[in-house]
Structure formats: C-alpha cells, structure tokens
A and B are shown apart, each in its own frame.
Chain A
Amino acid sequence: MVIFSLFCVFPLIWVLIAATNTSVDIVSGVLVPGKNIVANFQTLSEHYDVFGASWNTIKYSAVCTVAAIVVCSIAGYGFEIYHDKVKDKLFGLLMLTMMIPFVATMLPLYQSYAKLGLLNSTLGFILPQVSTVFLIMLFRQNSRTFPKDIIEAARIDGETELGIFFKMFMPTMKATYAAGATIMFMNAWNNYMWARLIMSDNSAQTLPMMISNMTTGHYIDYGMLMLAVLISTLPTLIVFFALQKSFVQGMTGAVKG
C-alpha cells in the first residue's frame, strides 16, 4: 500500500520540485526545491502564450462542464423518474455509443465541422463532449435513491415538473452534481486528441496542446516544462481536492444502483 502510494505521488512531487529548478540541476538528479521558479516562468511566457492557452482551457472546460451537467442531469432524471419500457430500451441503445471508439467518429466530425465553420470555436470543442452516456448513467443511477412519493406529493400540490426538478431534485443531489462536474471538468481540461484536431489556430489552443508543443525541440528546458505541467495540472487537482468527498459519494451511489 505504502509503496503504491509513493509510486503514484512521487512523479508529481518531482514535478513540483523540478518546476523550481534549472534544467541543469534537474538533469543531475536534484531533489530539493530550488530558487529558479520565477526565471522558469519568464522563459515560459517568453516562448509560449501561457495566458492565452490557460484562458482558452478555462473557457472551454467551464462551458463544457456547465453544459454537460445540465444536459446529462435532466436526461438522467428523465430516464429514471419517468421510466417506462421504451425509455429503458432507448437507454440500452445509447449505451452502445460507449463502445464507439472516438477514432471512428473523429474524422467525419472534423469534416462536418470544417464545413460548418465550427473549427477553432468553443461550441465546436464542447459539442461532442457535452452529452455522454457515462454522465447520464451517473445521474440516472443516483436518481434511483430519490424518493418518488415526494414528487407525487409535489404534483398534487400543483408544482410543475420543472419546478420539482429545480426545487427538489437539484438541491438533494448535490453529491452527484459534484461528482459529475469533477469528471466532466477533468475530461474537458485534459482533452488533447479532440482539441488538437479542431484547434488549428495558435490563438485557440489549450494547455495540453501547449505542453505537447514544448516537447518537440532539440533542447528541452526541463524546468520550464515542469512548470508548465504544474500550471496545467493545478486546476484539476484543486477541483478534485475541493470536491473529493462528494465525488466518492457520487460514484458510490452510481455503482450501488
């Protein structure tokens, strides 16, 4: 247990330390934080559009996450609370899409996007990612624990369906929302394949793309590289730590259902 934990954590600690050292120091195996972090950052921002890439990544991930949890939560709710045979069959059909490897859809999507002018755009980035069966399933499974009699009571009281959803479902299912948001945010933030495919403009690139570009050179400044890795990893780590408990709760609910 201890060994594995160390194995998992060590590379990240190394990144933290490396980001503060010069490339020469890193190469010789220094394991102590150095004082080079500011210089590394200067080199980084000189050669690469850190702020642009960061802002793009934030923008795309935030929009994607919000859109995804809205669309998928109402879908999960719909599938579970209003379930009938037809809907269950439909859901089974949708699950087939989980088998479809992205490589199979990415090329035609690229072509259609080019025709529709959706390349290099936020909308283009988020569309394929917003509605995933995984997220719908998360909300659907967790909705099973939602007491249906409360819904009946609310209907008798004259509450609209949407009203029930907003006033009763959403507040109760905070853990699920947290789990869903975490997963979606991480997926959107770290997405590389799709981003690289549709973002050809340098001004539209994301952090993963920027880091990838850094590795194609003769001389690799490890300090600068690790600092970039650190910058791009920090947000997802923060999101994860903040929502950790809810995340585990949400996943547990999904698996039990």
Chain B
Amino acid sequence: MKLTMRKRENLVGWAFLTPAVVLIVIMNFVPIAQAMLMAFQSGRTGNMTFTGISNFTRIVRDSRCMDALKVTLEYVVVTVPLILALALILAVLLNDPKLKLKGVYRTCIFVPAAVSMVASAVIFRSLFAADGFVNSILVNVGILQTGYNFLGHPSSARIILMMVRVWKMLGYQMIFYLAALQGIDSTIYEAAKIDGATGLQQFFKITIPMLKPTMVFTVVMSVNAAIQVYDESVNLTNGGPGNATMPIAHYIYRLAFNGVPNFGYACALSMVVLVVVGAMAIIQMKVGDRRE
C-alpha cells in the first residue's frame, strides 16, 4: 500500500465530512451565487431580462421596502436585547442552588420553544383578537369599555408581534446561558463574596465577562433569526394593518410570488439583507473579541 496508516486515516476522516460539506455547499453557496446573478435581472422564472443595477436603485425609491426595513430594524433592536437580558436573568435565578422546583420552571419556560412559529402566532392572534381572551378579561375587570383591537392598530400590532418572539425564544436562550453558567467555577464566586462583593457586583464583574463568548454567539444567532422573521408576521397579521407589521422577509416573499412576481427585484433585496446580516455578524464578533 502506498498510503501510510496515518494517510489512510486522514482520507477516511475526509470521507466522514464529505456528505455534510457537499450538501452545505450545494444548498448554500451555490444559491447565493445564483441569487447574485438574479439580482441584476428582472421578471419571472424562465423569463428574466438583464437590467443592470436598476433593481438596487429601485430599492431606495420603494417606500414599502423602506417601511419593511424599518419594521425589521425595530423588531431586531427591541427583541434581541430584551430576550438576552431576560434569558440571562432567568438563567442566573435558575442556577441558584437554593431554588426549589427547578425542573418545573425550566420546563415551563422552555415549552414555548417546542411550539411552531405558526402555532404561536395563531395562539396569540386568538388571544388578542377583538373578541379574544385578553379583551374579555379587560372588559370584565372594567379596565376597558369595549374590546381594544390590538391587531388593528399598528403600534399594538407590532408590540404583539414582538411579544410572540419573546415568549417563544426566551426558554431556548435561557438553556444556553444555563449551560454556560454551569461551566463557571463556584469558587470564584466564593472568593468574591469573601472579598465583600455584593450579588450585583458579582453578576457584572464575574458572570457577564465569563459568559461573553456565549453571549456573542446567541446574539449573532438571535439577530440572524430576528431579521428573517416571516412565519409570525404572516400568521399574526399578514403584514397588516396596512404594512405596519411587514418585515423584510415577508416583503421579499410577496415580491417574488404575489401580485406581479419579480424574482430579480426580490433577489436584489435579499442580497441587501445578506450584506446587512454579514456586516452585523462581523461587527458583533469584533466587539465580542475586543476585550479578550
């Protein structure tokens, strides 16, 4: 045999990787390249004409597109830090050895993550409908005279859209932080206590710095997921009222399939999203690494 044992092992190692790597390349890198090409074209599948950068200039002039970007931005800026903070606090609370019923709490908070986005949106939609549960409680208790149309007003509709995500993703992130917290040596905390540090000081000076890598990871994932919000907006309000709750992914889908389908323009927009996501990821990782 020409191959040494080491070389043969290495070959096998590569063989192990191949299916996964090939799939990722085909399902991710190839479509991106195709999308980049399509971004400079216009029209339906099979009938595309080359239009240069007109798609991109159109983006700037498209007010609905700007609205969608604004909605998405607000969504990300509010939900990501909120979930981060809440998940962190809950994880710390849950990590307390003195807490009873830990398993119960953990399960309760994580359970929403098992529900599909569609189902979550539908549930919240039913709860907050004009004739829904929340309204009937509010009316019965006397806070309101008649039901408030939560989903019919742009501001409250957006708030509920965000609420759905917070409800669903809280448990998921909390588990990440819990796992990370359990990796921290408790003797560090004890030493700090002896030195006179308060609980709050311990949290900020020990817990947070040690969780930095995990936090960066979850924030990147969180932002990525929030930018792509689609399921909830379709099933909660279908983008309404008007276009008040239409995030960018939803808008892209509409551009490509509803009304007058324009794959080229939709692709151009998704390229913009790609660049934004990539830029944000790089920024976040740089910020995360800065103090190491």
Contacts and interface: CB of A to CB of B under 8 A. Distances in A.
Indicate the size class of the contact surface on chain B: 35 or more
B230 A193 contact: yes
A236 B176 contact: no
B182 A27 contact: no
Nearest to A139: B20
Contacts of B124: 11
Candidate in B93, B114, B125 with the most chain A CB atoms within 10 angstroms: B114
A4 B277 CA distance: 31
Nearest to A79: B17
Interface in A72-100: 72, 74-75, 77-79, 81-82, 84, 87, 90, 94, 97-100
B136 A28 contact: yes
B109 A99 contact: no
Contact of B278 (A90, A99, A130, A254): A99
> In the complex, which range does the number of interface residues on chain A fall in?
35 or more
A11 B167 contact: yes
A162 B15 CA distance: 10
B123 interface: yes
Contacts of B28: 97, 100, 105
Interface stretch (A32-40, A42-50, A170-178, A225-233): A225-233
B136 A29 contact: yes
B27 A5 contact: no
Nearest to B228: A101
Contacts of A99: 220, 224, 274, 277-278, 281
B179 A251 contact: yes
Interface of B: 5, 9-10, 12-17, 19-21, 23-24, 27-32, 34-35, 38, 45, 86, 90, 93-94, 99, 104-105, 107-120, 122-127, 129, 131-133, 136-137, 140, 167, 170-171, 175-176, 178-180, 182-183, 214, 220-221, 224, 227-228, 230-231, 234-235, 238, 248-249, 252-253, 256, 263, 266-267, 270-271, 273-274, 277-278, 281
Interface of A: 1-2, 4-9, 11-12, 14-15, 18, 26-29, 71-72, 74-75, 77-79, 81-82, 84, 87, 90, 94, 97-109, 111-112, 114, 127-128, 130-133, 136, 155, 161-162, 165, 186, 189-190, 192-193, 207-208, 211-212, 214-216, 220, 222, 225-226, 229, 232-233, 236-237, 239-241, 244, 248, 251-252, 254-256
Given A11-B123, A98-B224, A254-B179, 15 more contacts: A11-B167, A26-B133, A27-B132, A71-B23, A82-B9, A99-B277, A100-B32, A104-B270, A107-B35, A107-B256, A111-B34, A186-B113, A212-B118, A226-B126, A251-B175
28 contacts: A4-B170, A8-B111, A8-B112, A12-B111, A12-B112, A75-B17, A75-B19, A78-B14, A84-B10, A97-B28, A98-B224, A99-B220, A99-B277, A103-B228, A104-B273, A107-B38, A107-B256, A109-B27, A131-B19, A161-B9, A186-B113, A186-B114, A192-B118, A225-B126, A232-B116, A240-B110, A251-B176, A256-B180
